[in-house]
Amino acid sequence: MTLEIDIHDLTEQEAIKTLERFIASAPKQCEAIVVVHGYRSGNVLKNMVANPNKLRSKRIKKRRYTMNQGETILELYV
């Protein structure tokens, strides 16, 4: 199961809180979360999602980048 969340127009702190809550509330069978953060308005959110010191959920196994620069896939421990 894969979920998706869009964090456009959030500040970095709002995005951290929102993502950590979303990950914590994701069902146990959820294998990945597609985070749509955008990239044209700057890379603050993209860098925040990529930085393991900013987003510290213990469920995140790895971050995967796609050809779409506006999204990052967070693979989760099941």
Smallest CA-to-CA distance from 2 within 35, 42, 24, 45 is with 35
Identify the three-state secondary structure at position 74. strand
Q: What CATH number did the domain enclosing 9 receive?
A: 3.30.1370.110
Query: In total, how many domains does the chain have?
Result: 1
Smallest CA-to-CA distance from 39 within 75, 3, 66 is with 66
User: Would you say the pTM of this structure is higher than 0.85?
Assistant: yes
Reported as a single tens digit per residue, the pLDDT across 39-74 is 877 789 999 999 999 988 999 999 999 999 999 999
Q: Which domain holds residue 67?
A: 2-76
